[in-house]
Amino acid sequence: MKITFDWLKDHLSVSAKEEKLIEKLTDIGLEVESVENLSEGLGLFKVAKILKTEKHPNADRLKVCDVDVGEKEIKKVVCGAPNAREGLITVYAPPGAVIPKNKTKLVIAKIRDVTSYGMLCSESELNLSEESDGITELSSSKYNKSIGKSFFTQSSSNLIDLSITPNRPDCLGVRGIARDLAASGFGKLKQIKEQKIKSKKSQTVKVKITNEKNQGCFSFGSCLVTNVKNTESPKWLRDKLISIGQKPISAIVDITNYVMIDINRPLHAYDADKIAKGIIVRNSKFGEEFTALDNKNYKLKDDMCVISDDKGVLGLGGIIGGTRSGTEMDTQNVLIESAYFDPRSIRKTSKELNIDTDAKFRFERGIDQLSIEEGLNKAAFLIKEICGGEISKIDIQKISTFKNQIIKFDPNSFEKVTGFKVLTKDMLKILDNLGFTCKKDKKIFKLTIPSWRPDITQEIDVVEELVRIAGYDKIKMEEPIKERKKSTLTQTQKLFHFLQRSVASKGYLEAITWSFTDAKYNDHFKGQNNELKIVNPISSELGVLRNSIFSNLIMYMSKNIDRGFKDLSIFEIGPTFFGKQPGEQNIIVCGLAAGKKSRLSWLEKERNVDVFDIKKDVVQTLVEVGYDSEKFFIDDETPNYYHPGKSGRLFLNRGKENVAAYFGEIHPNIIKQIDMKTESLVGFEIFLDNLKLPKKSLKDQKTKYSVSDYQKSERDFAFIVDKKIKVQDLVNVISNVDKNLISNIKVFDVYEGDNIPENQKSIAISVTIQSQEKTLKEADLDQINKSIIETVENKTGAKIRS
């Protein structure tokens, strides 16, 4: 909502400065978005007279004009307008002036070798009208004596842009804002005596509201003004509209706009002669069409509220009028409409047709149902004053009668909610100033709600009004109590934070990427999931919910590599989605590492990051979280976006209940398809929701402390096994030989090739043997040795290497 202080003063007696106004507006909840000086620099634009025109020596279409701008010196101005002619009084902009339309600043310029000092302006360039076919023509009788004077009346009033919250339709009119200000002690609301129509002439255009289900129009007031002469608006009206950044169009249109902005009463003006046999306000039928004033053709659905005549739809009630019945400069008889439309109906229709207009904006927030006559009175008299003609009686059709709401208000509820006291008499004063009428019933107020406040329906709404006007600065500050009754984080939340920092501590940079992604990338990583499309994405590249974090992470990894970073690790912890219902999402920790280890190192040989690097990160992270790596079970069943031979699936135990993590090289085909330039790319996904919380808390785990001080022995074995045998199984077999004595098992060599039969491999293992109870004798060790070899050979078909 745009206003000026000057316009406010039509309704408010006030002597304060604009600064105070801005502060006050904000204090009472009418947020000031911006304050702009529209007329800044407009003083430079002068009324000027063309003394002489010559053809431009180097351009057929240009003229060089001698212009009298009221100074001694005659200005030479190059002008292309066909109407530039000797004797024309027009508007001159000197170098330095900023053209209102396109905000360009004029400079002294050579146009085809002739220097032009400034410019002669069209109405369009001055934002006066759409007229751009020639320079402004001012009537010589009116302006002859003004040569050299400023064309624009200097307004000291800035354009104030307010952000009015949707609950305050009353403040979409200047008067409503003035009322709020007055209630808060900023000035006094002027009592404006309403001039009422006392005509004997009847309104001859018949109006009917059909009484049908879902009728969106509750009442329709109208007034006919006959024998008018539509014209340009007088200066005061044009200035008023220009002052809030609107363009004057014609007197009739300007008047309806003026009334709408002044008292938030939207009106519509019809050319009465174009209405065929009266107006019917009814529900539309599917397929009906009409051309609206925005020059678009709309196809209607069922049950939209339309204003129609015998020939069809004239306009959408409360939203937009049609071209067929619009007023024009030659309109002779004007029918003014002042109606009330149901906000829900307005909203539904405008949403479906995607139309946004000033009227719609106001009606969907709720217009004062009792302002129908006021609007007609105001508009009709202005039309008569400016365009002449005769005013008819007001006609009002309605299908329901408005009654002011009455609500009970307990003044004690104010302190209960706000924590501070306001005296009852002060409450009454505020409410009175806001237009409430109040009857005291013992300690309870019975409040009649003003018709312009549809937002007030219950006690709490009244509390809000009171505290808003009394001032939020009166709310006392209650210091919070430092007391915790419940732990801040749940176990799962702690796990989240721990995982996040654990992964980061391994050299990964945490990224946060969109929860949506490019379907093209998602395709690679969606696995068994369905694509989850967003109906109205911001762009097609962000068209689906991500099934995996990899899609985004790999895209950004690629961008970073393109920036010249070769060796980096990034991760994200966040949601992925497997369905479109709330809760069909998982929290994943997803990481990617690219490039090499020890690149360009004088110490160590460089090598690609590989699956065992990423395995280490995953295992270490899970161990740090508190899981026992001895119990982990790993196999190679991984989703298709991993390298089938160099990736793994990790379970927290052999029960294989839920996948704790995947890790491995990213499938080379994907790297190729997305054209990523890296030596190596490995990644992992840890499924937070699948991590069962350790049964014992860390606190419990710490209590049991037992170590053995008896001597430990290490024994090395080399087995030749079938290539298909997994080391994990071999280790498991060995550890099960004697869980009490075998305390550690290490694989220190894997070898295939010379001296080893085809399809077999040699695995060298070091086993640490230690008792909790005694020092083992040589015989005990030999016994264990023997059983290790026997068990391994029996269970895996391995052969000990001699």
Partner 1 sequence: MSDIKNIRDQFVSKLKNELSLDEINLIKTELFGKNGQISSLFKTVGSIPESDRKSFAADLNKIKDELQSLISEKIKEIETKEISQKLEKERVDITLPGRSFVRGKIHPVSQTIDEISSIFSEIGFSVEEGPDVENEYNNFTALNTPDNHPARDMHDTFYLDENKEVLLRTHTSPVQIRTMLKDKPPFKIIAPGRTYRSDSDQTHAPMFHQVEGLHIDKNINMGHLKGCLNYFIKEFFEVEKIKMRFRPSHFPFTEPSAEVDIGYEIKDGKIVIGEGDQWLEILGCGMVHPNVLKNVKVDPAKYQGYAFGIGIDRLAMLKYGINDLRAFFDCDYRWLNHFGFDPLDVPTNYRGLSR
Which of the residues 11 through 50 are near partner 1 (CB under 8 A)? 26-29, 31
According to CB under 8 A, which one of 216, 248, 266, 343 is a site residue for partner 1? 343
453 is a contact residue toward partner 1 (CB under 8 A): no
User: 471 vs 431, 464, 655, CA distance in Å?
Assistant: 14, 10, 65
Residue 573 CB, shortest distance to partner 1, in Å, is: 8
* Nearer to partner 1 (CB atom), residue 6 or residue 23: 23
Q: Which is nearer to partner 1, 27 or 66 (CB)?
A: 27
Helix (H) or strand (E) holding 314: strand 312-316
Q: Which residues contact 520 (CB under 8 A, 6 or more apart)?
A: none
In the chain, DSSP finds a helix count (H) and a strand count (E) of 20, 43
Find the binding residues for partner 1 in span 370-399 (CB under 8 A): none
CA dihedral 505, 507, 510, 513 (to 10 degrees): -150
Element (H, E) at 212: none
Residues 407-446 interacting with partner 1 (rule: CB under 8 A): 416-420
Q: Which is nearer to partner 1, 434 or 532 (CB)?
A: 532
- Of 61, 72, 403, 486, the residue at the interface with partner 1 (CB under 8 A) is 486
Shortest Å, Cβ 752 to partner 1: 31
Binder among 7, 151, 452, 508 for partner 1 (CB under 8 A): 508
Of the CA atoms within 13 Å of residue 243, those in its CB half-sphere come to 21
Cβ(800)–Cβ(717) below 8 Å: yes
Q: Pick the closest to residue 337 from 221, 206, 226 (CA basis).
A: 221
| 68-76, 103-111, 466-474, 523-531 -> range binding partner 1 (CB under 8 A) | 466-474
Residue numbers 705-724 binding partner 1 by CB under 8 A: none
> How far apart are CB 574 and partner 1 at their closest, in Å?
7
Does residue 507 touch partner 1 according to CB under 8 A? yes
575: contact with partner 1 by CB under 8 A = yes
User: For partner 1, which is the closer residue by CB, 144 or 492?
Assistant: 492
Question: d(Cα 50, Cα 88) in Å, to the nearest integer?
Answer: 5
Among the residue ranges 46-54, 64-72, 326-334, 463-471, the one whose residues contact partner 1 (CB under 8 A): 463-471
List alpha helices for 139-234, DSSP H. 140-143, 174-183
Q: How far apart are CA 747 and CA 704, in angstroms?
A: 29
Segment 153-172, which members bind partner 1 (CB under 8 A)?
165-168
Helix, strand, coil in percent for the chain, rounding step 5: 30, 25, 45
The answer to whether residue 574 forms part of the interface with partner 1 (CB under 8 A) is yes
Instruction: Give whichever of 516 and 717 is closer to partner 1, judged by the CB atom.
Output: 516
CB nearer to partner 1: pick between 542 and 727: 542
Does residue 489 touch partner 1 according to CB under 8 A?
yes
CA atoms in the 13 A half-sphere facing the CB of 681: 25
619 phi, psi to nearest 5 deg: -65, -45
Q: Which one, 107 or 603, has the nearer CB to partner 1?
A: 603
CB of 393 vs partner 1, minimal distance in Å: 35
Q: Give the rounded distance of the alpha carbon of 392 from its chain centre.
A: 48
Query: Considering Cα of 244, then 247, then 253, then 254, what sign does the dihedral take?
Result: positive
Q: Which is nearer to partner 1, 532 or 671 (CB)?
A: 532
481 makes contact with partner 1 (CB under 8 A)? yes
**Assigned token pair, 372:** 């129908």
Pairing of the two strands 713-722 and 799-800: antiparallel
User: For partner 1, which is the closer residue by CB, 254 or 567?
Assistant: 567
Q: Which of 602, 655, 699, 755 binds partner 1 (CB under 8 A)?
A: 602
Residues 553-572 that bind partner 1 (CB under 8 A): 553, 556, 559-560, 563, 565, 567-570
List all residues 6 or more positions away from 751 whose beta carbon is below 8 Å from its beta carbon.
761, 762, 763, 764
Cα(362)–Cα(262) distance, integer angstroms: 13
- By beta-carbon proximity to partner 1, the closer residue of 443 and 485 is 485
The residue count for binding partner 1 (CB under 8 A) is 99
Considering the complex, what minimum distance in angstroms separates the CB of residue 160 from partner 1?
A: 16
Residue that is written with structure tokens 């170098």 in the block: 95
Does 354 help bind partner 1 (rule: CB under 8 A)? no
| Residues contacting 247, CB < 8 A, separation 6+ | 127, 128, 129, 130, 241
Q: Where are the alpha helices (DSSP H) in 300-371?
A: 343-353, 358-365
- Considering only residues 73-102, where is the footprint of partner 1 by CB under 8 A? none
364 binds partner 1 (CB under 8 A): yes
Instruction: Give the interface segment with partner 1, choosing from 56-64, 579-587, 644-652, 668-676 (CB under 8 A).
Output: 579-587
516 vs 642 by CB, closer to partner 1: 516
Binding to partner 1 in span 512-541, by CB under 8 A: 512-516, 532-539
107 binds partner 1 (CB under 8 A): no
Contact window for partner 1 (CB under 8 A) among 210-218, 262-270, 287-295, 578-586: 578-586
What tokens were used for 575? 């949601």
Is 500 one of the binding residues for partner 1 (CB under 8 A)?
A: yes
CA 381 – CA 251 distance, rounded (Å): 12
Q: Which is nearer to partner 1, 581 or 759 (CB)?
A: 581
Name the residue among 352, 354, 448 with its Cα closest to residue 409: 448
- Tell me whether residue 585 or residue 608 sits nearer to partner 1 (CB atom): 585
Q: Of 634-663, which residues contact partner 1 (CB under 8 A)?
A: none
Q: Which stretch binds partner 1 (CB under 8 A): 95-103, 465-473, 652-660, 692-700?
A: 465-473
Nearest approach in angstroms of CB 675 to partner 1 is: 18
Tell the smallest beta-carbon distance from residue 111 to partner 1 (Å): 37
User: Nearer Cβ to partner 1, position 197 or 417?
Assistant: 417
Select from 125, 118, 115 the least CA-distant residue to 92: 118
Q: Binder to partner 1 among 294, 584, 716, 749 (CB under 8 A)?
A: 584
**Token pair belonging to 152:** 């624009």
Give yes or no for residue 463 binding partner 1 (CB under 8 A).
yes
Residue 613 three-state SS: helix
Alpha helices (runs of H) in 95-187, residue ranges in sequence order: 140-143, 174-183
- With binding defined as CB under 8 A, does residue 479 bind partner 1? yes
Asked whether the beta carbons of 317 and 359 are under 8 A apart, the reply is: no
Q: Which stretch binds partner 1 (CB under 8 A): 38-46, 48-56, 315-323, 599-607?
A: 599-607
Task: Select 178 or 456, whichever has its Cβ closest to partner 1.
Answer: 456
Short-list 131, 141, 145, CA closest to 68: 145
3-state secondary structure of 384: helix
Contact region for partner 1 (CB under 8 A) — 438-446, 601-609, 653-661, 766-774?
A: 601-609
Name which position in 311, 497, 656, 726 contacts partner 1 (CB under 8 A). 497
Residues 756-795 close enough to bind partner 1 by CB under 8 A: none
Q: Torsion angle of alpha carbons 56, 61, 64, 68, nearest 10°?
A: 170
Q: Which stretch in 37-45, 94-102, 192-200, 574-582 sits in contact with partner 1 by CB under 8 A?
A: 574-582
For residue 348, state whether it binds partner 1 (rule: CB under 8 A). yes
Radius of gyration from C-alpha coordinates of the chain: 41
Whose Cβ is closer to partner 1: residue 375's or residue 595's?
595
SS3 for 246-286, per residue?
A: CCCCCHHHHHHHHHHHHHCCCCEEEEHHHCCCCEEEEECCC
Per-residue CA distances from 551 to 122, 304, 358, 436, 661 (Å): 55, 45, 44, 59, 17
Query: Does 482 sit near partner 1 (CB under 8 A)?
Result: yes
